[in-house]
Amino acid sequence: MKPHWMVAVTTAVVALASTTLAFDTKWHADATRVAMDQEGFSADARLMCQFGNYLTDYFSGAESKYAEHVPAEIPKQSNKFHGVDERDVARLHFDALTSAAQVEQQWSTLESNTRAALVKWAADPSVKSGYRPVVLITILGASLHAVQDFYSHSNWLKRVSSTASPAPIWFEVPAVDRAKLDVKTGWYPDGNTPGLLYHRDENKDSTGRLLQAEAFAAASRASSDWVRRIVAATPEVPWATLKAWKAQPANLNGHWLRNADATFVTTTSILADHWDGNTPAKNVFAPEASRNKYMAQQALGLTMRVYTQNIALNGAATPTPHWVGFTMFHVERDLAKGLYLQNIKR
C-alpha cells in the first residue's frame, strides 16, 4: 500500500486536472519571477514565493474532488485536505465577481488582508525563527496568485484596451474611472445564465487563449507593483531579511526547496495538464508530449520518496518546511477573510 501522503498527492493531481482556476503554473511562476527579481529578492526567496503561489492552486485542485477519489482506507474530511479548507483558497482566484462593486471590494479586501496577515505573522511568537520567512513569503506568494488571476479571469483588458498601450493595471486607473468600466470576472463553474461572464470564455490561462500575452504582461507589471505596494505599507515586516533569505542549511532545506519542492511544482502541473494548457508551447522535460509526461511521472516519484522519508524521519505533518504557511499556520484563512466566493462573503 502507498503511504497516505503519496495517496493524497495522487488524489490531488487527479483533482487538479479537473480544475482550471488560474493562470497555468508556468505563467504564475514567470510573473512572480519578474516581480521578485525586480524588487530585489534573492533566488531562494523568489523560489519560495513561486512555491507559495503554486500551493494556492494545488490545494484548490485537491479540494474540489477530494472525497470522491480518496481510497476507502483514508479518512474523509469534508472540504479539507491537510487542514486547508477549499473555500478559503477558492477565494484567492478572483472568480465569479458579477459587478464592478464586487471587484472593487475584492481588491480592497485582498490588500488589507495581505497587509494584516504579514504584520500578524511577523510578530506572532508561536512562529519559530526558521519558519517565519517561509510563512511571510508564502503570504506574499498566495496574494500574488490572486492579483495575477484578476488579469486572466476578468474582462479588464477588454474594458481598458482602447485607452492605452500597454493596458493599465488596476491601481493605475482612478477609482472613479474604474467604476465606469463594468468590470466583472468569469463565473466558475461554467454555465449558461444570461448576464454572467464564464470562466471557459473569459480565462486567459494558457498559451493560445485570446489576450493571453496581454494578460501575462499586465499580470507581471501588476505583480511588481503589488510587491512594492505591500512592502511600503508594512514597515513592521523584516523585508531586508526576507529579500536576502536563503533556505538553510544548504544541504537540507535549501536542497529541498530547489529540488524536491521545485520539482513537485513542475511535475504535478504537467501531469494535471496545468503547466501551460493541454498543448504547451514548450514542454519541460522533452519535446514530445508523451515523453514529457513520462519523465514528469518519474521525477515526481523521486520527489515523493524524499517527501515520505522526511515525514517518516521527522514525524512532520508536511513533507518539507516550505509547506508550513498553509499546512501549519493556515495563512489562507487570514487572506480569505471577507473575500467573495460565488457572491457570498466569507
Is the backbone peptide bond immediately before 174 cis, with ω within 30 degrees of 0?
A: no
Residues 257-274: pLDDT tens digits?
999 999 999 999 999 999
Q: Which residue has the cell 512572480?
A: 32
Asked if 288 and 79 count as a contact pair (C-beta separation under 8 A), the reply is: no
pLDDT of residue 317: 66
Name which of 23, 22, 17 is nearest 213 in CA terms. Answer: 23
pLDDT of residue 71: 36
Comparing 312 with 334, the larger pLDDT belongs to 334
- Report the C-alpha gap between 311 and 5 in whole angstroms: 9
Residues 94-106: pLDDT tens digits?
999 999 999 999 9
Name which of 53, 62, 60 is nearest 30 in CA terms. Answer: 53
- Report the C-alpha gap between 3 and 240 in whole angstroms: 40
Asked if 253 and 321 count as a contact pair (C-beta separation under 8 A), the reply is: yes
pLDDT of residue 125: 96
User: Distance of CA 42 to CAs 38, 239, 320, Å?
Assistant: 10, 12, 20
Name which of 113, 89, 141 is nearest 338 in CA terms. Answer: 113
Residues 8-22: pLDDT tens digits?
555 555 455 445 467
Q: What is the mean pLDDT of the chain?
A: 87
pLDDT of residue 329: 95
Residue 87 has pLDDT above 80, yes or no: yes
pLDDT of residue 331: 98
Residue 149 has pLDDT above 50, yes or no: yes
pLDDT of residue 152: 97
What 3-state class would DSSP assign to 283? coil
- Report the C-alpha gap between 168 and 297 in whole angstroms: 40
Which residues have a Cβ under 8 Å from the Cβ of 112 and sit 6 or more positions away?
Answer: none
Residues 164-202: pLDDT tens digits?
678 999 999 999 999 999 999 999 778 888 888 998 999
CB atoms within 10 A of CB 109: 19
pLDDT of residue 164: 67
pLDDT of residue 72: 40
Q: Quote the distance between the C-alpha of residue 323 and its chain's center.
A: 13
Give the angle subtended at the CA of 58 by the CAs of 314 and 324, to the nearest 5°.
35
Name which of 197, 307, 223 is nearest 262 in CA terms. Answer: 307
